[in-house]
Structure 1
Amino acid sequence: MDRQITNAALRAIRRILRATDQGGRKLAAATGLTPSQILVLQQIERSGETTPSAVASALQFGQATVTNIVDKLEEAGLATRRRSDRDRRQILLKATSEGCAILESAPDLLQERFRDRFEALPAWEQAMILAALERLGQLLDAADIDAAPLIDAGIIDRSLR
């Protein structure tokens, strides 16, 4: 019986990994971007004009990670950087019209579906799932791995284009 439960748990983990991979591939095929790049571009677009530190804070990404992602978005013509007129030390980010068009055509992110469905669960069930996921991380020796709140298996600031 224990082996059957273990195998069922391994199948569930595998399904999650495959869903993550399929979601990333679908997003890449539609936009040429990674989930983290889409999230950064969405945050920039939502804000109208914003700073890299505001994006990093909103997404709980590291400042260096956001800088690397913005470099790629700017290179692709999806976002721009400019110095603030009020404070020349401050850099402002803005989505380009091409960046906005990419966001319009992008499929739903797996993590958005997860967030919406997870937040609709009762608090006790959210706590139970979180505890199980944290315990799973411990079982896989992954508890101390630094990770942004992002459903994506790849390096967060990698490039697809």
Structure 2
Amino acid sequence: MPLPALNSFVFLMINVSLTQQFSKTQGIFRFDGTIFLVQDCRMTQNLHNRIDESLIALRRILRATELYGRDLAQAAGVTPAQLRVLQIVEEKVDPTPKALATQMGVSQATVTSLVDKLVARGMAQRHASERDRRQSNIVLTERGRRTLEEAPDALQQRYARKFAELADWEQAQLVASLERVADMFDARGLDASPVLATGALQGERKGGPE
């Protein structure tokens, strides 16, 4: 005897006798002496769709970051982290490595590595501080200024501008959602700075500028 047509339901046969029951979304029913567990496939499909949509959104963020890093390397010969150093040096006017590290939220060792690469490329210089000879100030060179002018609009600054346009509750909601995503990847404890870049800040991505 054929089973009745029930759209979008999955049946799990159970070899027990129960009274006839039925639910449109989930439950059990009896047919010809056999008990079936009923579960709405639409609920499962919606979950799978949302998982896929969330992963696609995450992948787009990763791809945008990777592509920007590639474009920046080709256009200006620096990484996003190095560009951020140049921007802060221009904004702060000859900051010390300690001030750079504080602004970027990284260690002084990381800043030293980034500045070393910029100095090697002729984009920055170290000058002895007039206030404290034990300290040095980071100064932009003409090439460093040209790099800032020629670099494509920084992805991080684009995000910051659009984030600032959100209402206060939207900003808080977005931060909470992103922090929860980090928790879902067990990434809350990873060291990270507010610099939108892939890989460790001390090093360079494969294929990027050196």
Normalised TM-score (structure 2): 0.74
Query: Alpha-carbon deviation of 1:18?
Result: 0.6
Structure 2 match to 1:110: 155
CA distance in 1 between partners of 2:92 and 2:190 (Å) = 30
- Identity fraction in percent: 43
CA distance in 1 between partners of 2:92 and 2:180 (Å) = 36
Query: Alpha-carbon deviation of 1:84?
Result: 2.0
CA distance in 2 between partners of 1:109 and 1:9 (Å) = 25
CA distance in 1 between partners of 2:189 and 2:165 (Å) = 28
8 Å CA contact 1:56–1:66 kept in 2: the answer is yes
Larger relative helix fraction: 1
Query: Alpha-carbon deviation of 1:10?
Result: 0.7
Which amino acid in 2 is paired with 1:37? Q
CA distance in 1 between partners of 2:72 and 2:137 (Å) = 26
Give the counterpart of 1:47 among 73, 77, 92.
92
Matches within 5 A, 1:132-143: 132-143=177-188
CA distance in 1 between partners of 2:75 and 2:202 (Å) = 18
Rg comparison, structure with higher value: 2
- Secondary structure of residue in 2 paired with 1:93: strand
Structure 2 match to 1:59: 104
Structure 1 match to 2:32: none
Query: Alpha-carbon deviation of 1:61?
Result: 2.1
Structure 1 match to 2:137: 92
CA distance in 1 between partners of 2:167 and 2:119 (Å) = 41
1:119 aligns with 2:164: yes
Q: Which has the higher contact order (CA 8 A, sep 6+)?
A: 1
CA distance in 2 between partners of 1:12 and 1:156 (Å) = 24
Larger relative strand fraction: 2
Normalised TM-score (structure 1): 0.95
8 Å CA contact 1:37–1:157 kept in 2: the answer is no
Matched pairs, number: 161
Query: Alpha-carbon deviation of 1:87?
Result: 2.2
Which amino acid in 1 is paired with 2:50? I
Which amino acid in 2 is paired with 1:103? L
Query: Alpha-carbon deviation of 1:86?
Result: 3.7
Structure 2: segments with no counterpart, 5+ residues? 1-45
8 Å CA contact 1:27–1:106 kept in 2: the answer is yes
Inter-CA distance 85–127: structure 2 relative to 1 (3 Å threshold) = closer
CA distance in 2 between partners of 1:141 and 1:28 (Å) = 31
